[in-house]
């Protein structure tokens, strides 16, 4: 089912439009209705009156009150016409969604019945099997198709859609009640209340109780069929948290967030003071490159927590957009807790490197312990430490790495976009592995501070073997093939092929950067040519991505923006300054590479390239943090435009035959299951039915069905 969470704002739109009409016109004419006087008004327009409130007399030049009364009569007529128009829209939308809910309920029950029948067949002796519907599939295929776990998830999402539709009923009725009450109060008339009784209280969207029946029926089915009669367990699965409200964080979670952040600040100060002294005495760049990636990951997690908090405060439905469980997901406090904990470990690890003489632990062991713990934390198979969230992330990473073989969803390409900003993390990971394999002197307890003559000559920090260039291209490659896959699925050259062209420019930038670096190291005379090509393609890539960020990803510079100059017609965040600052920030950081090229060409400082790269990497993560706010805002508004508020998990689009069969099922008084009754006749017929697929299914298969009707009321 598709239902916009934001569509529940229809009455608020109605309230603002209609109420403001009355207030605006009254203010324009200077009129204010009052119980003791029909109207008090100042105006020079035709038919207006001018009262002296102090004397209760009419001033000179005043016409009769009939004109003013006619004005209000005309206004009330327009007011109720607008109300009728909005009521019709609400009734139509509710009826459509109710019919869709009934269709989906029948489909899910059909899926469940097939699964239960398959289980009974596998448990009963062959001679005792009696079925009215015989599916010509192997037992293994049916059991795989009707996966109980997927059915539980499907019923859970269906229940959420029913709750949203029920809230839609209540909120719209409340909206009408309040706007009509305000109308009567301002105009001192009972017509609004009369109209509500005559129109709203008999409207289908308010009087229809089928949604309550569907909710009760769903609870019963899940309790009896899927949870073995355990209603408490069933309601725990189905119960929906308050929509739009953050999951309450435990007191201990809040305490740990503060504790970890406090420790991190203290340890970070110690790290900066120690590192400043050490930097002037030793060559610390191997150590910096090894620990830089870990810091960027921690920064990313912390900023993602701020993203999550901002989305929830602004009403951006990120839970739906990422298709995560609305009943159980990480809040911003959980993300802060993880980032703070890992930040403390990061500081302790690097301080242990600095003071390795006192810890009796070789310097080179500390990074291995830190990153080993991070990997174990992510891959921990036990159902602790945010197991579901870690599993969701691993599944998402797998889908990103195998993009051509899966349909690409929003969360898939969102994560791939994040990897494009975390490319330094991948390059530092490659450097860490290479350094420990080829360059580290294990016999030296301070191997990470070992001196080398030229940091650009050693193996692991050069493009000599092309591996760094390949690693640098990987995130762009993931997005490139995702775009091609989306083009294959949709056959739309725009935007998917155009977007793929954007990511292809990264390949040229990395290629010419690698060629320039290797030719400069080897002293070739053609190095400058590759530098010029690097500048040209970097400029093209930055312009391309900047325009795409602002126009496509954020939806800004819309021609119909109205008073939101250079933005879009609808904006979620409260201040326009946020958008303008984000535009400026995106322009600056998209062209930050010019600083690096300029300084490396004009400065003789040996490590200036590493310094600039170390500064720009956190800034790129910050740019992506800002990008996330407006990218999800744009996606949220698109979902609102399509009235989408829940996931479609279990059911594929139905073909005509399937739709006909389900309509027949829904017309039955007893639902989709036939009950025993008086046998008066028997009718058999067969049809080819494309079964609704659960998410566990790999491909669509036509199922031949033999239906035997043994009840004369089966299709009544």
pLDDT in tens, 243-274: 555 556 678 889 999 999 999 999 999 999 98
Instruction: In whole angstroms, give the CA distance from residue 570 to residue 555.
Output: 10
Q: Report the range of poorest mean pLDDT among 48-57, 318-327, 606-615, 618-627.
A: 48-57
Task: Look at residue 32 and tell me whether its pLDDT is greater than 80.
Answer: no
Most confident of 127-141, 183-197, 404-418: 404-418
Instruction: In whole angstroms, give the CA distance from residue 538 to residue 533.
Output: 8
Most confident of 510-524, 532-546, 698-712: 532-546
Give tens-digit pLDDT for 519-535: 888 878 888 899 999 99
Instruction: In whole angstroms, give the CA distance from residue 394 to residue 187.
Output: 61
**Parallel, antiparallel or unpaired: strands 683-690 and 57-58:** unpaired
- Do the domain assignments include residue 365? no
Phi, psi of 706 (to 5 degrees): -110, 115
Give tens-digit pLDDT for 341-363: 999 999 999 999 988 888 888 88
pLDDT mean over 295-313: 96
**What confidence category does residue 714 fall into, taking pLDDT thresholds of 50, 70 and 90?**
very low
Is residue 264 a contact partner of residue 248, using CB atoms and an 8 Å limit? no
Q: Report the range of poorest mean pLDDT among 13-22, 391-400, 530-539.
A: 13-22
Give residue for tokens 């608020």: 12
- 125: exposed, middle or buried (Cβ count in 10 Å: 0-12, 13-18, 19+): exposed
- Mean pLDDT of all residues belonging to the chain: 79
pLDDT at position 244: 53
> Which residues, 6+ apart, have CB-to-CB distance to 464 below 8 Å?
518, 521
E strand segments, 123-251:
133-135
Instruction: In whole angstroms, give the CA distance from residue 471 to residue 468.
Output: 5
Three-class DSSP category at 687: strand
Single out the residue of 449, 422, 484 nearest to residue 367, CA to CA.
449
Instruction: In whole angstroms, give the CA distance from residue 175 to residue 13.
Output: 9
**What confidence category does residue 125 fall into, taking pLDDT thresholds of 50, 70 and 90?**
low
Single out the residue of 555, 645, 553, 620 nearest to residue 318, CA to CA.
645
Instruction: In whole angstroms, give the CA distance from residue 362 to residue 47.
Output: 95
**What confidence category does residue 451 fall into, taking pLDDT thresholds of 50, 70 and 90?**
low
Task: Return left, alpha or beta for 627; rule: phi > 0 is left, psi -120 to 50 is alpha, else beta.
Answer: alpha
Task: Look at residue 419 and tell me whether its pLDDT is greater than 90.
Answer: yes
User: Residue 678: which domain range?
Assistant: 656-709
pLDDT at position 685: 35
- Do the domain assignments include residue 71? yes
- Do the domain assignments include residue 70? yes
Is residue 75 a contact partner of residue 22, using CB atoms and an 8 Å limit? yes
- 384: exposed, middle or buried (Cβ count in 10 Å: 0-12, 13-18, 19+): exposed
Residue 292, both tokens: 């830089």
Pick the last residue of a domain from 215, 238, 261.
238
Task: Look at residue 679 and tell me whether its pLDDT is greater than 60.
Answer: no
pLDDT at position 333: 93
| Alpha carbon separation from 394 to 297, 401, 427, 628 (Å, rounded) | 16, 11, 20, 20
- Do the domain assignments include residue 123? yes
**What confidence category does residue 70 fall into, taking pLDDT thresholds of 50, 70 and 90?**
confident
Task: For residue 357, give the H/E element and its range.
Answer: helix 356-359
Three-class DSSP category at 70: helix
pLDDT at position 647: 57
Q: Report the range of poorest mean pLDDT among 109-123, 336-350, 483-497, 548-562.
A: 109-123
- Compute and round to an integer the Cα radius of gyration of the chain: 33
Three-class DSSP category at 702: strand
pLDDT at position 71: 84
Q: Report the range of poorest mean pLDDT among 89-103, 122-136, 201-215, 637-651.
A: 122-136
pLDDT at position 29: 35
Helix/strand number for the chain, H first, E second: 24, 5
pLDDT mean over 127-142: 46
Phi, psi of 591 (to 5 degrees): -110, 20
Is residue 534 a contact partner of residue 512, using CB atoms and an 8 Å limit? yes
pLDDT at position 660: 57
- Do the domain assignments include residue 682? yes
pLDDT mean over 576-604: 93
- Do the domain assignments include residue 198? yes
Q: Which residue has the higher pLDDT, 16 or 102?
A: 102
Instruction: In whole angstroms, give the CA distance from residue 49 to residue 66.
Output: 10
- Do the domain assignments include residue 211? yes
Residue 193, both tokens: 């209340």
Pick the last residue of a domain from 195, 211, 238.
238
Q: Which residue has the higher pLDDT, 378 or 19?
A: 378
**What confidence category does residue 324 fall into, taking pLDDT thresholds of 50, 70 and 90?**
confident
- Residues 163, 165, 168, 173: what is their CA dihedral angle, to the nearest 10 degrees? -100
pLDDT at position 172: 92
- Residues 156, 157, 162, 164: what is their CA dihedral angle, to the nearest 10 degrees? 120
The DSSP output letter for 634 is: H
Pick the last residue of a domain from 189, 223, 238.
238
pLDDT mean over 446-458: 58
pLDDT at position 527: 87
Complete edge-to-edge strand list for the sheet that includes strand 683-690: 133-135, 702-709, 683-690
Domain count, the chain: 2
Percent of the chain's residues with pLDDT above 70: 74
Task: Look at residue 234 and tell me whether its pLDDT is greater than 60.
Answer: yes
Phi, psi of 43 (to 5 degrees): -170, 155
Instruction: In whole angstroms, give the CA distance from residue 29 to residue 45.
Output: 9
pLDDT at position 242: 64
pLDDT mean over 368-372: 96
Task: Look at residue 654 and tell me whether its pLDDT is greater than 80.
Answer: no
Q: Report the range of poorest mean pLDDT among 416-430, 442-456, 548-562.
A: 442-456
Give tens-digit pLDDT for 138-172: 545 545 444 777 888 888 889 988 988 998 899 89
SS (H, E, C) 250-288: CHHHHHHHHHHHHHHHHHHHHHHHHHHHHHHHCCCHHHH
Single out the residue of 471, 457, 565 nearest to residue 517, CA to CA.
457
**What confidence category does residue 663 fall into, taking pLDDT thresholds of 50, 70 and 90?**
low
Percent helix, strand, coil in the chain (nearest 5)?
65, 5, 30
527-559 burial, b at 16+ Cβ within 10 Å, e below that, comes to beebbebbbebbeebbebbbebbbebbbbbeee
Residue 3, both tokens: 């239902």
Q: Report the range of poorest mean pLDDT among 108-112, 271-275, 387-391, 699-703.
A: 699-703
Phi, psi of 495 (to 5 degrees): -100, 0
Task: Look at residue 39 and tell me whether its pLDDT is greater than 60.
Answer: no
- Do the domain assignments include residue 507? no
User: Which residues are paired to 52 by β-bridges?
Assistant: 57
> What angle do the packed helices 148-187 and 66-123 form, to 10 degrees?
170
pLDDT mean over 173-177: 92
Q: For the whole model, what pTM was predicted?
A: 0.73
Q: Which residue has the higher pLDDT, 611 or 627?
A: 627
**What confidence category does residue 667 fall into, taking pLDDT thresholds of 50, 70 and 90?**
low
């Amino acid at each position: 089912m598709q239902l916009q969470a934001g569509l529940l704002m229809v009455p608020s739109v109605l309230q603002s439009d209609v109420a403001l009409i009355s207030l605006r016109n009254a203010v324009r004419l200077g009129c204010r209705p009052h119980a003791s006087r029909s109207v008090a008004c100042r105006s020079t327009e035709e038919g207006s009156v001018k009262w002296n409130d102090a004397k209760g007399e009419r001033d000179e030049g005043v016409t009769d009150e009939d004109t003013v009364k006619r004005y209000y009569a005309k206004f009330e007529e327009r007011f109720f016409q607008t109300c009728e128009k909005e009521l019709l829209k609400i009734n139509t939308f509710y009826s459509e969604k109710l019919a869709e809910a009934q269709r989906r309920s029948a489909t899910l029950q059909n899926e469940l019945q097939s699964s239960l029948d398959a289980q009974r067949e596998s448990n009963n002796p062959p001679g005792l099997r009696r079925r009215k519907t015989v599916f010509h599939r192997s037992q293994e295929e049916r059991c795989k198709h009707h996966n109980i776990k997927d059915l539980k998830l499907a019923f859970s999402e269906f229940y959420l859609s029913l709750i949203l539709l029920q809230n839609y009923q209540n909120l719209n009725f409340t909206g009408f009640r309040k706007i009509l009450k305000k109308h009567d109060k301002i105009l001192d008339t009972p017509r609004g209340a009369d109209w509500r009784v005559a129109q709203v209280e008999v409207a289908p969207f308010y009087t229809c109780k089928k949604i309550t029946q569907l909710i009760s029926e769903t609870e019963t089915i899940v309790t009896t069929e899927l949870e073995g009669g355990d209603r408490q367990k069933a309601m725990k699965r189905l119960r929906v948290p308050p929509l739009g409200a953050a999951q309450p964080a435990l007191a201990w979670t809040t305490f740990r967030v503060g504790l970890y952040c406090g420790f991190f600040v203290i340890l970070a100060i110690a790290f900066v003071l120690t590192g400043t002294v050490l930097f002037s005495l030793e060559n610390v760049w191997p150590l910096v490159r090894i620990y830089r990636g870990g810091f960027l990951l921690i920064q990313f997690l912390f900023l993602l927590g701020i993203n999550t908090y901002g989305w929830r405060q602004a009403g951006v439905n990120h839970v739906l957009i990422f298709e995560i469980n609305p009943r159980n997901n990480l809040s911003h406090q959980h993300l802060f807790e993880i980032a703070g904990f890992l930040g403390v470990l990061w500081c302790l690890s690097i301080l242990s490197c600095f003071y390795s003489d006192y810890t009796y632990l070789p310097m080179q062991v500390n990074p291995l312990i830190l990153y080993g713990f991070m990997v174990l934390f992510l891959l921990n198979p036990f159902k602790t430490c945010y197991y579901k969230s870690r599993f969701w992330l691993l599944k998402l990473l797998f889908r990103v790495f195998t993009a051509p073989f899966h349909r690409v969803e929003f969360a898939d390409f969102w994560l791939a976009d994040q990897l494009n900003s975390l490319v330094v993390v991948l390059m530092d990971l490659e450097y860490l592995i290479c350094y420990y394999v080829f360059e580290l002197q294990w016999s030296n307890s301070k191997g990470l501070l070992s001196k080398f003559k030229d940091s650009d000559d050693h193996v692991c920090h050069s493009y000599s073997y092309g591996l760094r260039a390949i690693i640098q291209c990987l995130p762009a490659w993931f997005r490139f093939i995702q775009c091609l896959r989306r083009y294959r699925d949709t056959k739309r050259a725009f935007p998917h092929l155009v977007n793929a062209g954007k990511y292809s420019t990264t390949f040229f930038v990395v290629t010419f950067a690698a060629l320039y670096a290797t030719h400069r190291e080897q002293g070739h005379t053609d190095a400058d040519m590759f530098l010029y090509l690097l500048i040209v393609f970097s400029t093209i890539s930055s312009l391309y991505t900047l325009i795409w960020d602002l126009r496509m990803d954020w939806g800004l510079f819309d021609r119909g923006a109205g008073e939101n100059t250079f933005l879009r017609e609808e904006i979620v965040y409260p201040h326009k300054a946020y958008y303008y600052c984000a535009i400026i920030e995106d322009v600056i950081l998209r062209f930050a590479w010019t600083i690096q090229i300029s300084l490396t060409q004009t400065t003789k400082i040996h490590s200036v390239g590493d310094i600039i790269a170390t500064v720009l990497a956190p800034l790129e993560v910050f740019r992506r943090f800002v990008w996330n706010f407006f990218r999800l805002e744009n996606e949220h508004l698109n979902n609102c435009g399509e009235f989408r508020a829940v996931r479609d998990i279990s059911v594929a689009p139905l073909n005509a035959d399937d739709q006909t069969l389900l309509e027949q099922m829904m017309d039955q008084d007893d639902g989709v299951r036939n009950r025993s009754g008086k046998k008066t006749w028997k009718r058999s017929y067969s049809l080819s039915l494309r079964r609704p697929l659960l998410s566990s299914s790999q491909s669509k298969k036509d199922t031949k069905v033999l239906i035997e009707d043994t009840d004369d009321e089966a299709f009544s």
